Structure 1
Amino acid sequence: MQEKLKIKLSIADRVYPLTIDPKQEEGLRKAAKNIDNLAKKFEQNYAVRDKQDVLAMCALQFASKIEQSGINESENVKDAQERLQHLDELLRTKLTSE
């Protein structure tokens, strides 16, 4: 069993101490950095003073990317199913005509 790791992440000028599995460290640090970078962009591009508003917009941005990715994946699966059904029909037609 791995020992837990204590780290501190800085997001939007606040430090968050966490106790995590060592294998989570890289992902959490990258996620915190992405949030922090996006928050800074929102602060620079929009007249936003409240950190909560900035973090809410960050959460919305990341959540919408996840949702859109799921929608795109669902559409890709549907397209693949339709192509497979078409191939199945072609094979059945070819096999029954021989």
Structure 2
Amino acid sequence: MGEISIKINIADRVYPLRVTTEEEEVIRHAAKLINEKIKELQDNYAVRDKQDLLSMCVLQYATGMIKAERNAQQSEEGLEDRVHELDNLLNDFFRK
């Protein structure tokens, strides 16, 4: 579980990082997704400034993350409600 040094390229800039071996694959995959999204935005919009493309990319990923968190929270709340219902049904059943 030691740390390794890697270099990640995002938007034509290289970032040296020290990460655990477990994190490396995730970080490399994330950088790949970011670069793909930047390319997609660059191809679809008349934006060439890397800072603008990065900002648009971050906004899209942050929006997606917030939506996913809300969905997870709603699912969790729904599950919690179902567990309470089941608990009440079981309590009623065993009281009879």
- Structure 1, residues 39-93: CA drift from partner, whole Å, max 9, x if none? 0000000111211111011111111222111111111111111111111222222
Structure 1 spans left out of the alignment, 5+ residues: none
> Aligned residues: percent identity?
42
TM-score (normalizing by structure 2):
0.87
CA distance in 1, matches of 2:22, 2:80: 36
Instruction: Report the count of equivalent residues.
Output: 96
CA-to-partner distance for each residue in 1:18-44, whole Å, 9 max, x for gaps? Answer: 233333221111111000000000000
Rg bigger for which structure?
1
TM-score (ref. length: structure 1)? 0.85
Structure 1 consecutive aligned stretches of length 4 or more whose deviation exceeds 6 Å: none
* Alignment correspondent of 1:76: 75
Quote the RMSD (CA, aligned, Å): 1.6
Q: What is residue 87 of structure 1 aligned with on the other side?
A: 86
Provide structure 2 residue ranges, at least 5 long, that are not aligned to the other structure: none
